[in-house]
Amino acid sequence: MRFFIAVILILALFSISSWSLSGQQSKILKSSGIIICSSVSGCGKYKPMLIHKIYPGQKIYIYNDVEVLGRRVDGKYEIWLTWRIFIYNPLGYLDYTSSISTNRRKYDVKIIKYAGWFTWTASKSKIEGKYTIILEVINNLSNEKLTYMSYFYLSDSLTKIFRVNINYSLTFENMGNRPSTITKLYVSIIRDWKPFQKVVLGPIFNINPNSVESDEYGNKYAVYRDILLNPGEGKTISIQYILKINISYFKHRYISLNSLKNLPESFRRFLAPEKYIESNSSEIILKAFQIKDGLDDVYLICKGIANFTSTYIKYVKVPENKGALWTYRNKIGDCTQFSRLYVALARAIGIPAYTVSGYSLSNVDFDRIFESNIGHTWVAIYLPNYGWIPLEPQSSGDRFGLTPYPYIVFVHGGGSETSIDDVKISVGRFYYYYVGPKPRVKESLKYMISRISGFKENVTINANIPDKIYAGEWLNIYGNINPPIDNGIVYVVVNKSNNIVFNNFFNVSNGIFSGEISIPPKKYLLGTLSITIIWPGDEKYNEKYFRKNIDVVERDSSISISLSKNEATIGDRVIVYGRLSPPLNNESIIIILRSPRGKEYRYTVKTFDGNYSFIFDTGRRRAGKWLIIVMWSGGERDYVYKSCRNQITLKLKENILIENLLFLAITIMVAAIVISILIILLYRRRRERYEEIYLSPIS
């Protein structure tokens, strides 16, 4: 599990007017949902997986990032986020859960971007099939919670039903200096335990037994008599089997304790105290009812007992003759003591239970032979409506309901005393009587686990996908898988020039799948997109691909243009108006006025509900034909639009009245100038004559 935090300072530059600066509440503004990745190195630094199909040994990252508006506190912005993840295996069992938190943090910026992620590693021991991811993103300051769901497929791991080849052997050696005789040897024979265990082949003995006997628990034994071992001599008895193991999960279902009151008489021995299972001890009874704690649900009570034994007892190898009460008092024990204490606690409450003995196969690697020399003991409990189910008392209650695997059951009632033909034995994998030196015994189990995948069928995929789509439109996909697969998923991957644009998944129900994918209104998506539908395959069907190319195109646009008058006189105000299709708000419309001499004047106006208008003041404009051009650039809006333009001509005429008045004014001005000149000339002439008379001599 890892967690990364990044603060995006740039986001803080943008104010959010809808929130007051004082007492503003925290809010998640944006979330990426679940992104399943092959690697993550930081916030926004991740590599999403093309197909959510993984294999043993592979690690995946479940990634989420959010943008959160901090709560204003003392001039700072406080946030507190928590991520919780739940991963359920193909049986519905909770395979993994975890949580991470930012705790309370304060920052100087309003908007902070955080990323949280979890890791999950596949192994061969995990069950093959579809895993479900539930991710919760919680804003602890506002109690806001976002919940997301996604899936992935685990392939080539342990199948729900798998095969085990077994060679069980017992070797007896006489280490003494005189003969030893095994007078009676009881070797347990593996039998069916439906639905968990089925014997497909066997038992196959290297030495045939003298007889086959049964005990009161239904266990069968191969009985050997009078096996002579001379000094230094050893003999091996081996039994071969092929088994099918079925992994099951029993989900919680309310079961009242009253349902245990009328059980058949045969259940009595699974409720009574016995040697090593002191269910009548006052100490055991007191602890059992403390665990019960007023519950009336058998399922939850049994789960609570598992929680207790798994945490109360420290695993220490101890002698076989230590029972439940000793274990309770000393708080130590091995698998036998865990099981005995669990059974005693269950019986003290009135829940039938007993121990089982066999082997836990610790190495899960397919088609390889492993050997184990140590047996194992665990528990079977009875749940009405379910029957007898196995459980591991060393595992916490979180694993309750999931049958322990890969386990092989040899006998039921392990450790209990029984008798066969009046011969007392302790129920176990083997039991023997001897005369002479005690032989040394070596018990061994060689096993090989194999997946049962069987022959996989091919499938066909048909899908209805349009040939053309607008950038910004929803791509609707409808299709079917044949044979009609149920409760599966298909992945839809969108590629542009071999680069993944985005992917999604659709649920498959009765062979039908449908869904839609948003094609973003981005110019880089224009052209050919490749749509790939992927059925990842499962334990029954092979994987299959369906591909189709589609064309992503721009949406057409248009703009109309009209004039309040097509002919105008200089000085008039002409309204230029029209409508943009699509009818978008606040779009920039460029208006170009081209004069009769070709000179251009450029203006910009904004649209309102697609409408625009512009006032052309013709005062001081040249008469003649004016070309009025309107243009819209188009581009990335709710769709990607083509640009558009339109034009219209305005005939601008001279104003006659103004021209006449101007002519009259000019005429008057010219006349005034002429008259002024004449007056000046006349004045000068008169002045000259006067001066001439004044200067003449008197005769």
Residues 6 or more apart whose CB falls under 8 angstroms from that of 697 comprise none
Strand partners, 639: none
Nearest-angstrom CA–CA distance, 649 and 666: 33
| DSSP output for 486-550 | -SEEEEEEEEETTEEEEEEEEEEBTTEEEEEEE----GGG-EEEEEEEEE---SSB--EEEEEEE
Same domain, 104 and 168: no
Q: Within a domain: residue 522?
A: yes
Number of H-type helices and E-type strands within the chain: 5, 50
- How far is the C-alpha of 556 from the C-alpha of 581, rounded, in Å? 9
**Mean pLDDT throughout 58-77?**
93
- The whole-number pLDDT of residue 689 equals 66
CA atoms within 13 A on the CB side of 326: 15
Are residue 142 and residue 38 in the same domain, yes or no? yes
Shared domain for 253 and 237, answered yes or no, is no
Q: How confident is the model at residue 448 (pLDDT cuts 50, 70, 90)?
A: very high
3-state secondary structure of 128: coil
In terms of residue numbers, what domain contains 648? 558-656
Residues 87, 33, single domain; the answer is yes
Q: What pLDDT digit, counting tens, does each position of 656-691 carry?
A: 666 666 667 788 888 888 888 888 888 777 776 666
Count CB neighbours of 59 within 10 A. Answer: 12
* C-alpha–C-alpha distance, residues 673 and 679, integer Å: 10
Tell whether 523 and 577 lie within a shared domain: no
23 φ/ψ angles, rounded to the nearest 5 degrees:
75, 20
Amino acid identity for residue 492 in this structure = V
Contact of 67 with 11, CB cutoff 8 Å: yes
What gap in Å lies between CA 206 and CA 561, rounded to an integer?
Answer: 100
Q: Is 674 contained in some domain?
A: no
- SS3 percent helix, strand, coil of the chain, rounded to 5, is 15, 50, 35
**Do residues 167 and 304 both lie within one domain?**
no
The answer to the question of residue 43 being in a domain is yes
Residue 680 covered by a domain:
no
Tokens matching residue 247: 């992994």
Q: Who contacts 297 (Cβ-Cβ below 8 Å, separation ≥6)?
A: 254, 255, 256
| Same domain membership, residue 390 and residue 434 | no
> Same domain for 118 and 228?
no
Task: Please say if the pLDDT value at position 362 is more than 90.
Answer: no
Residues 278 and 345 in one domain: yes
Instruction: Tell me the residue length of the chain.
Output: 699
- Whether 47 shows a pLDDT value over 50: the answer reads yes
> Among the three residues 509, 529, 553, which one is the final residue of a domain in this structure?
553
Q: Token pair 């930012």 is at which residue?
A: 102
CA distances from 437 to 425, 433, 618 (A): 20, 11, 128
Token pair for 388: 């007898």
What is the Cα–Cα distance from 190 to 193, expressed in whole angstroms? 9
- Give the CA angle between residues 569, 571, 577 to the nearest 5°: 80
> Furthest-apart CA pair in the chain: how many Å?
200
Environment class of 652 (CB within 10 Å of its CB; exposed 0-12, middle 13-18, buried 19+): buried
53's tokens = 């199909």
Domain boundary among 107, 135, 154: 154
CA distance 638 to 660: 56
Query: CATH number for the domain including 471?
Result: 2.60.40.1930
Quick one: residue 103, left, alpha or beta (phi over 0 = left, psi -120 to 50 = alpha)? left
Q: Quote the DSSP letter at residue 127.
A: B
**Same domain membership, residue 368 and residue 317:** yes
Q: How far is CA 203 from the centre of its chain?
A: 45
Does 13 reside within a domain?
Answer: no
CATH of the domain at 370: 3.10.620.30
User: 678 in a domain, yes or no?
Assistant: no
Q: Which residue has the higher pLDDT, 403 or 688?
A: 403
Q: Where residue 497 falls among pLDDT bands split at 50, 70, 90? A: confident
Q: Are both 119 and 53 inside the same structural domain?
A: yes
Give the whole-angstrom CA distance, residue 93 versus residue 130: 12
Q: Residue 31 forms beta bridges with which residues?
A: 66
> For the ranges 208-222, 226-240, 524-538, which has the lowest average pLDDT?
524-538
The answer to whether residue 226 sits within a structural domain is yes
Q: What is the mean pLDDT of residues 386-402?
A: 90
- Domain count across the chain: 5
Q: Look up residue 340 and give its two tokens.
A: 């005995």
Last residue of a domain, one of 495, 528, 553: 553
Q: What percent of the chain has pLDDT over 90?
A: 72
Token pair 């591909």 is found at 547
Average model confidence (pLDDT) for the chain? Answer: 90
pLDDT of residue 676: 85
In this structure, what CATH number is given to the domain that contains residue 93? Answer: 2.60.40.3880
Q: Is the pLDDT of residue 697 over 70?
A: no
Q: Which two tokens stand for residue 238?
A: 């081996």
Cα distance between residue 43 and residue 3, in whole Å? 9
Q: What pLDDT is attached to residue 15?
A: 33
Tokens 């978008």 belong to residue: 584
Q: Residue 443 has which token pair?
A: 């018990």
Cα 621 from chain centroid (whole Å):
68
The pLDDT of 334-339, averaged and rounded, is: 96
Same domain, 144 and 187: no
Please give the full DSSP string across 69-111, using - where no structure is assigned: EPEEETTEEEE-EEEEEEEE-TTS-EEEEEEEE--SEEESSSE
498-544 pLDDT tens trace: 666 677 889 899 999 999 998 999 998 999 999 999 888 877 888 89
Q: Flag the least confident range among 198-212, 262-276, 529-543, 684-698.
A: 684-698
Nearest to 132 by CA among 100, 97, 86: 86
* 53, containing H or E segment: strand 53-54
Model pTM score: 0.72
In a domain, 694, yes or no: no
pLDDT > 50? residue 561? yes
Question: Mean pLDDT throughout 238-255?
Answer: 94
At residue 693, does pLDDT exceed 90? no
